[in-house]
Chain A
Amino acid sequence: MTEGAPRNGRTGIDAASLAVGFSTALRRAGLPGSPDRAAWLARALRIVPPTARDALYWTSRVVLVSSRDQLPVFDAVFSAAFDGTSDPADSRGDANSPPAIGAEERIRAAPADQRPATTAGEDGELRAPATSAARGSSDLPPEPGRDAILAMASAEEHLHGKSFAELTPDEAAHIRRLVRRIVLSTPERRSRRTRQWAHGGATLDIRRTIRAARRTGADAACLVYARRRPRPRRLVFLCDVSGSMEPYTQVFLSLLQGAVAGARAEAFVFSTRLTRLTRQLSNRNPDHALALGAAAAPDWAGGTRLAESLRHFIDGHGRRGLARGAVIVVLSDGWATDEPDQVDAQMARLRRLAYRIVWVNPRKAGTDFQPLAGGMAAALPYCDAFISGHSYAALAEAAAAIRADRTESDRADTARTHSAGKQGKRNAA
């Protein structure tokens, strides 16, 4: 692939070698490619002769890219291969348009020792991020009294009540296996598809009735009723993987992974930025899935930008349908570097989209816990359930909260709290 290559693209052989060479370069840069893509490109170059840089750019981009996320890599490789100097952004549209997911600059994954795939429980010490170190004194490992009682039960049951932050590596591995098997299910909603139903609350299905009637010579001998088929609501996890959550992320990721595989949940992790992990975590081999997930999110154990991450989630995914009518589970301690006001605003937006919001905060188990962390206090009025989830037993509680239906009085109550909370905040400000 030299600079002269585009000009020579007219003959079949050159188009083919150009196509193969370029797609190989892209594959090396990490873009998924297949031999048929290269073949398509060779054919495409024959009908759109690459006489100019632009023609070659668009032709190869249309054929070789299969998702917007791949554009930055493609642009970089194209630029390196064919012009070496030009800025690929020149040939793409509006510089003012807000960057979409994946369009941001790529950051390399954190080195292995920062990923939660390593054992975080070894030192048994809570590592708080710099920003929250000052108020971090209240978060001692929870409930010694309860642990003492549980210690009398079998070793396994003892583990159930033990905080994830205190597990030894062996125990952690064991708990992660258990957590992966937690069965999560969401409340149902009615889908558009119908299913045959016994009478009673169901509506008459004329089409099915007539189809059945054809057998009996066109007399509708029996009426067929149908009802809209119930389907489970979508389940979305937003998991905080910042430094303050480090003792818990390992186990929570196992929970996410089980949910993605078992309940078709969507999984996102965030600390300074938001990463969608659904695809990585859906790998069949759990260890492999976790490794993929760890590699995909670049900012393990960083700071927390709660409001920013929520905003990215809502703008990039939630509003487009992911969050609508869904059960949203946020796993976070609510320690955030952004202003509580922003958290408040984003939670209000999320609330308008979601069916229920369940907040899992492992710090809640602490005896003297008060939801005073700025972000947490701001988010709390918008949550339908607030759960600790610091141990296996506590996660069972989270599963129950995920399963729960929304009651209308719930909503009315919280709606009042919101306006009151907002009012209060405005007055205070």
Chain B
Amino acid sequence: MSTAARAGAEDDVRRLVPDVAALMTALDDADYLADAGLATALFLSVRLPQPILLEGEAGVGKTEAAKALARVLDTPLYRLQCYEGIDAGEALYEWNHQRQLLGIRLAEARNVNVDEADLFAEQYLLRRPLLKAIEHPGPRPAVLLLDEIDRADAEFEAFTFELLAEAAVTIPELGTIRATHPPVVVLTSNRTRDLHDALTRRCLYHWIDYPRPERIAAIVRRKVPGSAEPLALDAASAITRLRSLDMAKPPGIAEAIDWVSALTVLGVERLHPAAVKQTWGTVLKNRDDLELAWARGPAWVAGGGHD
């Protein structure tokens, strides 16, 4: 169990995030608006400490949450984007064969003796995210983001977890590298397949709900400098309205940000039907959805309540 290797959060971390409210404020300062649920989840993952599995629709800010957490802890974020067929060479470490060969050639040219230990020295080691996170010297643990873990093969999932539970890597040529500050592990999944029980058993879990219009507006205003509050709120409510339709690809926060950026560039101050018509393309990216919204008409999308 990972708890064996990690007795509890270090003093430094404890001082930085004393409670949930403090983490919430800190995340806010790091330009990430987290609600009580997400803040509690991240807080526990740092303080218990246990890996946390974040799920939610595309674009609710799963990856962003990990990045913000790294900013709050003021530690590096090591991100491993998983994909089908990913293996240890891409996740953990690999020897830099080209450089090793070059080293041999150089030594020959200079008439110097090289022995094997020289060739398998640290400078020939290509460190991949998992190793980097384990090797991280501190003073606070790094944040390791395993993005879209459901895309990797089940075997890779098992391998990763064994590694994180041990918090140590054995490289035959170099010996064992043990983590002094085991990383804070954040996993995200899009539910393309059922994750293995062994993984879910070892993780905390949080489902990120799609936020309410006020929160979307707040997020948009953070991300789009110069956007007017009424416009952001209009766009956020319009997006919430669009999401109530039965869409193939419901617009998310990214679309809200794109939309408000576009409207701001066009000099629009309040959302009105004509502006909606002009900017459909930043919000709806599927022809069927477009037809669906079209049937309701731009006035319905714009809300029509205020003008």
Contact = CB atoms under 8 A, between A and B. Distances in A.
Interface of A: 34, 36, 40, 43-44, 47-48, 54-55, 58-59, 61-63, 65-68, 71, 91-94, 96-98, 100, 191-193, 206-207, 210-211, 213-214, 217-218, 278-279, 314-315, 317, 319-322, 345, 349
A62 B204 contact: yes
Contacts of B250: 98
B193 interface: yes
B205 A67 contact: yes
B85 A193 contact: yes
Nearest to B86: A192
Contacts of A191: 84-85
B97 A210 contact: yes
Q: Which of A54, A62, A65, A94 has the most CB of B within 10 A?
A: A62
A59 B40 contact: yes
Q: Which of B40, B191, B209 has the most CB of A within 10 A?
A: B40
Q: Which of B48, B53, B55 has the most CB of A within 10 A?
A: B48
Interface stretch (B98-106, B133-141, B171-179, B273-281): B98-106
B236 to A, nearest CB: 11
A44 B43 CA distance: 10
A210 B98 contact: yes
A94 B20 CA distance: 22
A94 B212 contact: yes
Nearest to A70: B205
A397 B249 CA distance: 37
A217 B119 CA distance: 12
Given A55-B40, A192-B83, A218-B105, A320 B191 contact: yes
9 contacts: A44-B44, A94-B243, A96-B241, A97-B210, A192-B83, A192-B85, A217-B104, A317-B191, A321-B190
Contacts of B207: 65, 68, 71
A96 B244 contact: yes
Interface string B173-195: 00000000000000000111110
Given A97-B209, A98-B250, A191-B84, A58 B41 contact: yes
B28 interface: no
A65 B205 contact: yes
Contacts of B248: 314-315, 319, 349
Given A93-B210, A100-B57, A320-B190, 12 more contacts: A40-B204, A44-B44, A47-B43, A47-B44, A48-B40, A62-B41, A71-B207, A96-B241, A97-B57, A218-B105, A321-B190, A321-B192
A44 B206 CA distance: 15
Contact of B100 (A59, A66, A214, A320): A214
A66 B200 contact: yes
B269 interface: no
A214 B50 CA distance: 42
Contacts of B98: 206, 210
Specify the main secondary structure of chain A where it touches its partner.
Answer: helix
Given A47-B47, A94-B211, A96-B244, A62 B200 contact: no
A54 B204 CA distance: 18
Contact of A192 (B47, B84, B205): B84
Given A62-B37, A62-B40, A322 B48 contact: no
B246 A44 contact: no
B288 interface: yes
Given A71-B207, A98-B246, A191-B85, A214 B97 contact: yes
Interface string B201-219: 1011111011110000000
B41 to A, nearest CB: 4
Contacts of A34: 201
A55 B43 CA distance: 12
Nearest to A58: B40
B268 interface: no
A100 B37 CA distance: 19
A100 B56 CA distance: 10
B259 to A, nearest CB: 17
Contacts of B104: 217-218
Nearest to A282: B194
Interface string B29-68: 0000001110011011001101011010100000000000
A40 B48 contact: yes
Given A44-B48, A48-B40, A315-B248, A96 B200 contact: no
B212 A93 contact: yes
Q: Which of B44, B86, B210, B212 has the most CB of A within 10 A?
A: B44
Contact of B20 (A55, A91, A192): A55
B221 interface: no
Nearest to A210: B97
Contact of A67 (B40, B200, B211): B200
A210 B205 contact: no
Contacts of B101: 210, 213-214, 218
Nearest to B194: A279
Nearest to B245: A98
A94 B192 contact: no
A92 B209 contact: yes
B246 to A, nearest CB: 7
Contacts of B249: 319
A207 B53 CA distance: 34
A319 B250 CA distance: 12
Nearest to A103: B207
Contact of A96 (B57, B87, B243): B243
A48 B43 CA distance: 9
Contact of A58 (B36, B57, B190, B243): B36
Nearest to B83: A192
Closest 10 CB pairs of A and B: A93-B209, A192-B85, A321-B192, A58-B40, A210-B97, A97-B210, A66-B200, A193-B85, A62-B41, A94-B210
A43 B45 CA distance: 12
A66 B203 CA distance: 8
Contacts of B83: 192
A211 B209 contact: no
Contact of A66 (B190, B201, B241): B201
Nearest to A44: B44
Given A192-B85, A218-B105, A96 B240 contact: yes
Contact of B97 (A54, A207, A279): A207
B7 to A, nearest CB: 11
